[in-house]
Amino acid sequence: MFYSASYCSPLGKITLASQQNQLVGLWIDGQKYFGAIVTADIIEKANLPVFNLTKKWLDNYFAGKNQTINQLPLAPNGSPFRQKVWDILCNIPYGEVITYGDIAKQIALQTNQPNMSSQAVGGAVGHNPISIIIPCHRVIGANGNLTGYAGGIDKKIKLLQIEGVDTRNFVLPKKGTAL
């Protein structure tokens, strides 16, 4: 059984999903892959402890406070490869960015491979079911390209600005899936 709750944020409505007292989903309305991990009936139950804890975390985050991820019971569902990528995302410091290529190099080292596809990493980053908290918005393309945020580039920029990142030197894509 899945449970859901809504949260009003500066980015618009956010839907939270839980299963077995763990957060399994967080999606901004209109986000690509919205609710993709929900495989059973979902019942709205706004006052579950996991939702109250997550809403407090989000309140602090949107107020510009650096929040740690380990204070939340997260349970993102995905393949072992996606889990490796999401683990790396969880370790990107607040207010900093890394590239898809940086993550690909880390995965290649972890798996003892000569290299790893940045595009494969991008797919895993894009399918992150707990956006914002698992900070996929902190991943940028090569040369400062702002690509690949399932919630939309405008929201990615806003999240980075909340964290104090100077986004003026980043490059907005002219075409592609990130728009």
Which of 16, 121, 136, 162 is an active site residue?
136
The reply to whether the predicted model has a pTM over 0.85 is yes
Is 136 annotated as catalytic? yes
**What is the secondary structure of 42-87 as a DSSP string?**
EEE-TT-HHHHHHHHHHHHHHTT----GGGS-B-----HHHHHHHH
Segment 121-174, tens digit of pLDDT: 999 999 999 999 999 999 999 888 888 787 888 999 999 999 999 999 898 877
At 34, the pLDDT band (50, 70, 90 cuts) reads: low
Q: What is the CA radius of gyration of the chain?
A: 16
**Pick from 136, 133, 155, 131: nearest CA to 12:** 155
